[in-house]
Structure 1
Amino acid sequence: MAHPQVSTVTKKPQFHSLRPCWLLIYWSVLLLLSGPSIAQYNERPALVGSGNAEVDISGRSIKNKRIRTIHDPSPTGAGGSGAFIVRDPFLAYQLGRNLNFREFRTRDGVLSSIGDLAGLMPDGTTASITARNQLSCSGCHNLPQGNAGGGVSFHKDSGLSRNTPHYYGAGLIEMIALQVRAEILSTCDTNDDGWIDVAEATSAPAISIETHPGGPTVDFGSLALSNGITGVPNLNNIFSVWFVDSSGRPVDGATEIDGMATVGFNFHMSVWGWGQGLGRSALNPTNRAFYWDPANAHSGMQAFDPSTDNDPDGDGVSEATIAGAVQFPATHVAPDRGLCMDALGFSHDDPDGDTYLNEISEGDLDLAEWYMLNLPRPAFAGSRQSFNRGVELMDNMKCTDCHQVRWDIKSQDSTYEGDRRLFDFNVTWNMLTRRLEGELTPLFTKSGMDYVPNRRGSMVLGIFSDFKHHDMGAGFQEIGFGGSVNTLWRTPFLWGVGSGFPWGHDGQSLTLENVILRHDGEGTASRIAYESAPPKDRMKLINFLEKLVLYDVESLPADINGDGTISSNFMVAGMDTGLERLNAEWLFQTPLKIQGRVTVNGNVLTSFAGTNIDQAYQQLTHCRVDSDNDGWPDVWDAAPRVTGYRDGVN
């Protein structure tokens, strides 16, 4: 299998080589490389010594201009989202990363109002979340900073907090969820029309999904209706259900099959969000929705997304996006509906009335989704033998009854989509170097200029979730602002659980042992098994969980060109970039060239500021040129020489 090859990327000879592995180092490596390492995630494209205030010697701040991305599925549309994803996919990944971590500004339309109450509790009257309180996804997802971490707790539904989870491995999570839906339909949708009618619901077997060949099965309930031939299906609360007419189209406001207006149902898994109580599932079913929904709620930036609305047969399920995932307009549509369109192709709707239009474009969502699809998964900071011993302890204490260790993604065929990622980043513990190290494995075939995902099967080891909602009893009870009670929560993914507190949906547990001891309800047997275990076994289990870690993706020592070594002097565009690591900029079609050695206040340092940003980031291509630097590409700008942050003109 070919590795990403860039003619300007080479390695200096090594006196010794390291086995390809993986590494986790917070910011310490970058400190060694360049001095200051904690970057601000706004634009800092200037060179050290230029006298420009917008400088960052670490290179970790955003270098590219904020330009709304044009959605174009064609790989030949220069500067469009399809061309980036198909022909410069590591640039697409980096641009998506920058959209996730960028600190948006007033000129971008962020925060039309600040700190308002928004959303409703199940009673339909009590206000829920405090909205419009962040400039960036990284305002909550920031440990480790500059990554898809977690770490922030905030008030959502109750006086106790809601804990922000990390989203490492987001693409794998989404693919498993979509695969489970596809498997249920392949078994139960006997007439292959894409939804479940009454006859199919009453004759369907119990929904038992195998996690991997020969592995455990997960009971997701039943399609059987609550009243025989009417009512609602008995599916686990992870599923969001909508009810359809005889053509399979969603019926607005319907809450059950009544045999008249509604004769069937459709469904998806809402994998993002801890849970909102019986019948409300969680928050988002796809990574794309997981970007535009919080962008609206927390940053006041509304997305316009025809890709989600691309539902030709009107069944509430879209055609696949450029990244390959169907969306679910039956339950999740972007807030900017595009009811009033500009002749140049963008929406005039302005849902929040702040006069800033099309704040998040369809092309932006293409790139954000691509980044999330390819996000590396967490690591285990120990040997495979110690991993297996830890899993055995979890088995003995009944933890794996819910925290399933492994899921497999099936190869693409007429039912399944296969693994849609561009690459896998496998991080393992090197016993010799005593560190985590990474290895980039391509999951694509190069066909001419196009990068084509192989869509084969893959094993997802160490995810530790059954994707179900469970009643966790009094230990995890949440009493909402208005008095509603919820004890139903999705099994959290334990990968990365060792990288920090707090734990639990509410962030109320400050130790791993405390969150284990809170297990009531369906988790009671596991808690009792833990309490009954010998102290040394309890300690071993905690030590095992502490090794399920996150890491700083960009500073982790890694073999990214497949030669089996991790270079100490990785050469990119003729410049020594130091320790080899997964900086996507090194893998662009035109790799970023760093500034190199500079002297600052008598200290000789390596500057990772870029000297060819326009070329590397394709800012001079047709759909990216923004002559007046107002965030509106010239092809969308009625006055491309007049700065107009709101709509290209004003």
Structure 2
Amino acid sequence: MIGRLVYKSIYAASLVAITSLSTTASFAALLDQTKVDNSSAIYAPGGTISKSLIEQIGMGQGDEFTGASSIYLINRDPFRSIRRGRQLFQRKFSEDEGLGPRVNFDSTGDVTQSRGLGAGLTDSCSTCHGSPKGSAGFGGNVASFPDGRDAPHLFGLGLVEQLADEITMELRATRQQAIDRAAQRNQRVTLRLRAKGVDYGRITAEPDGTVDTSKVDGINSDLRVRPFFAEGRTASMREFVIGAFKDEMGMEAWDPILCEVTDPDNPRAMTSPSGFHYDPARDSFERPPVCADWEDGDNDAVTAEIDPALVDYMEFYLLNYFKPATGPGNPFAREGSRLMRSIGCTDCHTQQMRVSRDRRVADVETKHDAEQGIFNALFAEANALFSTIEDGDTYPKLVPNGDEFIVNNFFSDLKRHDLGPAFHERDYDGTIRTEFMTEPLWGVGSTAPYGHDGRSINLDQVIRRHGGEAEDSKRRYVRLRFEDQLKIREFLNTLVLFPPDDTASNLNPGNPGSNDPQDPANHGNIALPALYQIHEYGPE
């Protein structure tokens, strides 16, 4: 199956189909149905997580021929896998499942070595990443550093990982080119490091194969772009997921993939079910807190807290998670976009980049639509990015096409910059961090307050806070007429997040014009269950 996923005609032809799909998929999964009395007044179909944690684990990680395993489902029922990851993201974990402790039972230690001491303890990913409702959005502020850290939204996270990984490969190809030329010519060779339209400095190779990286700009000398966390600490979503389970929830994931990659005696390259390639000969990666299902690293008498299958589903969910939306445009906002370019904002906030080989199975484009949009006047169009491969199993594999994809309204160069003293970050040991990754601006219209620390209360203030490398652009903004400043902010306010379970789409368009848009049958949603291939596994 290749091409657009267009289901409007199905729903137009059958009100029953609309009601059925929206009933199963349109509520935020805030409760675990397996632990809540179904006769309770707060119970609503689709408003709970249908499967227990054991059922979500199923047959474990398995392989592409082991039914009910994570690798099997990711290959053969990818949209169910995405939804399962979403339900895990919304799940509230309990102590008997391994929740806690916060670093240790005394909650003591050096916060500069164990950031979890400042993060506190939460029972769900959605506690910090839950706005708008039911999304992998933005949220809490934690005391990992004296001035706090804001939890960023996770919309489009898979595209961020892919862009960073491809930039890394392009930069390293340039490094190898410099080494080869220096050897061939028997002289020093300097090449500019440029990838996806962004300049990352220069690299110099000597005839003997040594390399000078002192002029590399905005990334580490190993040329690995690490896009996650404000300081650019982590390379992959899988590391991010495992670290968050440990630091924020006190739950330990034993992951055979990263444990193999980081084995101190015999590390070997591995590729995750979502397609990220880990090569310990080229990069160092974060080792999971435990590496066997019998280990109890936090001494809470609970082992096998986060099964590898759960990590697989979470990684796949984030790989395919929806991009931010584009709100209503108008001449005022369009002029604001032009003004951003003219004053130099897009020198760092690069508006678009191209993914050369997209690992996602679908893309969802969400835009302002006054006619079809119901909640927030937004409507989502889902498009397939996969092909069907018959391999003898009852259910064919649905594999990513791997085509190129233009990431629009991204607004980041995936580099670190020094934005001046107002953005510098104090640490508890008295040190100062001066450089931070350029935060993508997509979604910025929904995510106040601003800055990595959440200390700027509105867009105007966070722009005025810029200094250092952005001082010239900030000054040009300040010198603009007030109405031109408003135009820039008007444009930024069109870059928004949205609640997927309450946003009408071509998978469930709802009933525009209904007198009761609160009814899930009327407001529509991005109904992933409409795309399940293996229906006998039931609701998620």
TM-score, normalised via structure 2 length:
0.84
Contact 1:69/1:364 (CA < 8 Å) preserved in 2? no
1:287 matched to 2:229: no
1:371 matched to 2:343: no
The aligned residue for residue 167 of structure 1 is 154
Distance in 2 of aligned mates of 1:5 and 1:427: 14
One-letter identity of the residue aligned with 1:512: L
Equivalent position to 1:273, from 192, 217, 229: 229
Q: How many angstroms does 1:541 deviate by?
A: 0.8
Equivalent position to 1:155, from 143, 166, 170: 143
Contact 2:348/2:413 (CA < 8 Å) preserved in 1? yes
The aligned residue for residue 589 of structure 1 is 533
The aligned residue for residue 72 of structure 2 is 83
The aligned residue for residue 394 of structure 1 is 340
Contact 2:361/2:400 (CA < 8 Å) preserved in 1? yes
For 1:226-265, list aligned pairs within 5 A. Answer: 229=210, 233-239=214-220
Equivalent position to 1:206, from 182, 189, 192: 192
For 1:631-650, list aligned pairs within 5 A. Answer: none
Distance in 2 of aligned mates of 1:293 and 1:206: 34
Contact 2:115/2:144 (CA < 8 Å) preserved in 1? no
Q: 1:222 to 1:432 in 2, by over 3 A?
A: same
Distance in 2 of aligned mates of 1:317 and 1:192: 25
The aligned residue for residue 517 of structure 2 is none
Equivalent residue of 2:39, what SS? Answer: coil
Distance in 2 of aligned mates of 1:290 and 1:456: 26
Q: 1:509 to 1:384 in 2, by over 3 A?
A: same
For 1:316-331, list aligned pairs within 5 A. Answer: 318-327=269-278, 330-331=283-284
Higher helix share: 2
Q: How many angstroms does 1:500 deviate by?
A: 3.2
For 1:66-465, list aligned pairs within 5 A. Answer: 66-67=53-54, 68=57, 70-72=59-61, 74-113=63-102, 116=107, 120-121=111-112, 129-158=117-146, 160-190=147-177, 203-209=189-195, 211=196, 217-224=197-204, 229=210, 233-239=214-220, 266-275=222-231, 282-311=232-261, 318-327=269-278, 330-338=283-291, 341=292, 347-383=293-329, 388-410=334-356, 418-432=357-371, 435-448=377-390, 449-465=396-412
Equivalent residue of 1:219, what SS? Answer: strand
Q: 1:458 to 1:72 in 2, by over 3 A?
A: same
Q: 1:119 to 1:460 in 2, by over 3 A?
A: farther
One-letter identity of the residue aligned with 1:332: F
Distance in 2 of aligned mates of 1:201 and 1:451: 50
Equivalent residue of 1:138, what SS? Answer: helix
Distance in 2 of aligned mates of 1:399 and 1:507: 20
Equivalent residue of 2:46, what SS? Answer: coil
Q: How many angstroms does 1:590 deviate by?
A: 4.6
1:128-179 alpha-carbon deviations (Å, 9 max, x no partner): 8524511111111111132111121111122x11111101000100000000
Distance in 2 of aligned mates of 1:290 and 1:141: 13
Q: 1:549 to 1:200 in 2, by over 3 A?
A: farther
1:612-642 alpha-carbon deviations (Å, 9 max, x no partner): 8x6345xxxxxxxxxxxxxxxxxxxxxxxxx
Equivalent residue of 1:466, what SS? Answer: coil
1:79-134 alpha-carbon deviations (Å, 9 max, x no partner): 1111111111111001111222211101110113468256653xx7x978524511
Contact 2:324/2:495 (CA < 8 Å) preserved in 1? yes
Question: How many percent of aligned residue pairs carry the same amino acid?
Answer: 26
One-letter identity of the residue aligned with 1:221: G
One-letter identity of the residue aligned with 2:142: F
Gaps of 5+ in 1: 16-29, 212-216, 242-265, 276-281, 342-346, 411-417, 570-575, 592-611, 618-650
Distance in 1 of aligned mates of 2:89 and 2:202: 37
The aligned residue for residue 257 of structure 1 is none
Distance in 2 of aligned mates of 1:439 and 1:270: 30
Q: What's the RMSD between the two structures over aligned residues? A: 3.6
Q: 1:507 to 1:567 in 2, by over 3 A?
A: closer
